[in-house]
Amino acid sequence: MSHLFTDNWVAPDRFEQLVEEALDTIPDALWEAIDNVAVTVADWPTRHQREEVGIPPGGLLLGLYEGVPLTERTSGYGLAPPDVITIFRRPILRVCPPGDEATVRAQVRRTVLHEIAHHFGISDERLHELGAY
The total of structural domains in the chain comes to 1
Q: What is the DSSP string of 67-133?
A: S--GGG--GGGTTPPPEEEEEEHHHHHHTS-TT-HHHHHHHHHHHHHHHHHHHTT--HHHHHHTT--
* Domain annotation covers residue 3: no
* Domain annotation covers residue 50: yes
Residues 6+ apart with CB under 8 A from 109: 21, 22, 25
* Residues spanned by the domain of 66: 13-70+82-129
* Domain annotation covers residue 5: no
pLDDT-based confidence at 35, cuts 50/70/90?
Answer: confident
* Domain annotation covers residue 77: no
pTM of the predicted model over 0.85 = yes
Q: pLDDT tens digits, residue range 2-11? A: 444 567 789 9
Of 27 and 45, which is predicted with more confidence?
45
Q: pLDDT tens digits, residue range 53-107? A: 999 988 999 999 999 998 888 887 778 889 999 999 999 999 999 989 999 999 9
Q: What is the DSSP string of 9-67?
A: -S-HHHHHHHHHHHHHTS-HHHHHH--SEEEEEESS--HHHHHHTTPPTT----EEEES
Of 109 and 29, which is predicted with more confidence?
109
* Domain annotation covers residue 40: yes
Of 99 and 133, which is predicted with more confidence?
99
* Domain annotation covers residue 4: no
Q: pLDDT tens digits, residue range 13-30? A: 999 999 999 999 998 988
* Domain annotation covers residue 121: yes
* Domain annotation covers residue 7: no
* pLDDT at site 2: 45
CATH number, position 61: 3.30.2010.20
